[in-house]
């Protein structure tokens, strides 16, 4: 991959859960190394479907996905992980019966080196988790679970992190906390695709954004430009946050 080529590129991708019924209708998307890119849009627009397709949980019916200059269109998730991409789903993203520390260790399943430096790094980034490292993940609050899920994904030191609706069902205070952590992760150099229902907050901190509608990328541009675009505001942002 050359320095000026995208880290990830999605070109004219069609995908869905049922044969011949595509939710994604020719989506184009890209993210560069170190960027934070938000994907917003109304419910049913295809945001989570795009994340799952990028990560190999769904196979495109048409189109091409390249990561670090290599075609990953038909690879499975475990192969994509080994190439440096991790995905944090909206739900069922921790092992509730395991401790925080054990969850982090499970996240490093393909590593064969010492995990202590990475765990120390994660605990520094998420001090709340460090204080409770022996506590079962099932006893954590929603916000703490999201932090653990992100920490577990970071145990593989990925080049790209896909976050699917990390603020879903969280209180406003916890939303702010999770978003601060996402920004901090991005500032370490990690590229992040942020699929998010909280459109205003996501666009406000994103380098760039994409607005999906009916499985198509209807608008794209710098986060602040989309936030201030009257058409985007009227159609997708409303008077309050997007649902």
26 occurs within a structural domain? yes
- Tens digits of residue pLDDT in 152-183: 999 988 999 999 999 888 888 888 888 999 99
139 occurs within a structural domain? no
Q: Which domain holds residue 43?
A: 8-90+159-237
Q: Residues 222, 208: contact at Cβ < 8 Å?
A: yes
41 occurs within a structural domain? yes
Q: How many CB atoms lie within 10 A of CB 220?
A: 17
169 occurs within a structural domain? yes
pLDDT (0 to 100) of residue 239: 41
Separation CA 101–CA 52 (nearest Å): 27
- Tens digits of residue pLDDT in 28-77: 999 999 999 999 999 889 999 999 999 999 999 999 999 999 999 999 99
117 occurs within a structural domain? no
pLDDT (0 to 100) of residue 183: 95
Q: Residues 30, 6: contact at Cβ < 8 Å?
A: yes
- Tens digits of residue pLDDT in 3-21: 578 999 999 999 999 988 9
Average pLDDT, rounded, for the chain: 90
Instruction: Return the CATH number at 174.
Output: 3.40.50.300
243 occurs within a structural domain? no
Tokens of 104: 């982090």
pLDDT (0 to 100) of residue 2: 47
Separation CA 213–CA 41 (nearest Å): 6
pLDDT (0 to 100) of residue 240: 42
Q: How many domains does the chain have?
A: 1
- Tens digits of residue pLDDT in 101-126: 999 988 887 766 777 888 898 999 88
224 occurs within a structural domain? yes
214 occurs within a structural domain? yes
- Tens digits of residue pLDDT in 89-103: 988 789 999 999 999
Separation CA 162–CA 173 (nearest Å): 22
């Amino acid at each position: 991959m050359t320095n000026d080529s995208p880290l990830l590129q999605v070109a004219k991708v069609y995908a869905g859960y049922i044969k011949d019924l595509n939710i994604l209708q020719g989506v184009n998307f890209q993210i560069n190394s170190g960027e934070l890119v938000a994907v917003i849009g109304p419910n049913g627009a295809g945001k989570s479907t795009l994340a799952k397709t990028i990560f190999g949980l769904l196979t495109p019916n048409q189109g091409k996905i390249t990561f670090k200059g290599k075609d990953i269109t038909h690879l499975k998730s475990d192969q994509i992980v080994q190439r440096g991409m991790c995905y944090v789903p909206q739900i069922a993203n921790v092992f509730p019966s395991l401790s925080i520390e054990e969850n982090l260790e499970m996240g490093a399943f393909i590593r064969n080196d010492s995990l202590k430096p990475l765990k120390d790094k994660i605990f520094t980034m998420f001090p709340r988790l460090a204080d409770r490292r022996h506590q079962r993940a099932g006893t954590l609050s929603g916000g703490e679970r999201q932090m653990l899920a992100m920490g577990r994904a970071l145990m593989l030191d990925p080049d790209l992190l896909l976050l699917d609706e990390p603020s879903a069902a969280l209180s406003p205070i916890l939303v702010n906390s999770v978003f601060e952590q996402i920004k901090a992760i991005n500032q370490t150099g990690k590229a992040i695709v942020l699929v998010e229902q909280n459109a205003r907050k996501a666009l406000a901190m994103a380098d760039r954004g994409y607005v999906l509608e009916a499985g198509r990328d209807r608008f794209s541009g710098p986060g602040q430009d989309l936030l201030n675009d009257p058409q985007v505001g009227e159609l997708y942002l409303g008077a309050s946050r997007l649902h």
